[in-house]
Structure 1
Amino acid sequence: MSTIFFELSSSLLKALAHPTRLQILDILKDKDELCVCHIYEDLELEQSNVSQHLKILKDQGILSSRKDGLKVMYSVKSPEVFQILDISRKILIAQLEETQNQLRKEGN
């Protein structure tokens, strides 16, 4: 594969590599769309902070937005992102279980 593919893949994964952005995606997972005001209230963060994270996700094509009067509504543009998150969750759980098993063996 070409270098550009790996660079684009890296950019996509960097967009996902922040706890706040993962929380945003978790909030939007079962919603058609949400106003930025609901997202930052759910996260208990400043709107400006959440807006920066939303912009990163939107710039990577993960989210889309539309104006609804004075509100900006966000939705997941690429639901395949949840497959990535599910796989990463499975990997993390397996790693934690392995660590737990190692600690048990060392404790005996």
Structure 2
Amino acid sequence: MHTYKTNPEFFEQKSEILKALAHPVRLCIIQTLYNNGPTNVTDMHNCLDKPQSTISQHISKLKSANIIIGKRQGTEITYSIKNDEIKKIIQILF
């Protein structure tokens, strides 16, 4: 049995990640990025069958939670999962 030293900041950080993922659209976005690699909003829109504005709102929440990053290529922004910790979470979920 492991004994863990209480570290409120650690648990708060993990909680914030889980809160950000705790929405069906955001989970679908993350799963799409996990399965397809870097993807633009148009590709996510086609997969999710939601208005592009809805996808953009959820992308904004995922970006602010440091879960995804966007890379501009001309007029297009391609999004990807920011780190391996998120990839592990998605792998376990799906």
User: What TM-score does the superposition give when structure 1 sets the normalisation length?
Assistant: 0.71
Larger Rg: 1
8 A Cα contact 2:32 2:44, kept in partner:
yes
Q: List per-residue Cα deviations over 1:32-82 (Å, max 9, x = no partner).
A: 311111111211101111111111111222111011222111011113313
Identity value in percent:
36
Q: Which whole-Å CA distance do the structure 2 matches of 1:37 and 1:44 have between them?
A: 10
Gaps of 5+ in 1: 90-108
Gaps of 5+ in 2: 1-5
Q: Which whole-Å CA distance do the structure 2 matches of 1:30 and 1:68 have between them?
A: 21
* Mapped pair 1:5 → 2:10: yes
Q: Which whole-Å CA distance do the structure 2 matches of 1:37 and 1:19 have between them?
A: 18
Q: Which whole-Å CA distance do the structure 2 matches of 1:29 and 1:73 have between them?
A: 13
Q: Which residue does 1:65 correspond to in 2?
A: 70
Q: Which residue does 2:51 correspond to in 1?
A: 46
Determine which structure has greater relative contact order: mean sequence separation of CA pairs < 8 Å that are 6+ residues apart, divided by chain length: 2
Q: Which residue does 2:3 correspond to in 1?
A: none
What's the secondary structure of 1:74's corresponding residue? Answer: strand
User: What TM-score does the superposition give when structure 2 sets the normalisation length?
Assistant: 0.81
Q: Which whole-Å CA distance do the structure 2 matches of 1:72 and 1:37 have between them?
A: 10
Count of aligned positions: 89
2:26 is aligned with what amino acid?
R
Q: Which whole-Å CA distance do the structure 2 matches of 1:88 and 1:24 have between them?
A: 14
Alignment of 1:1-108 (within 5 A): 1-89=6-94
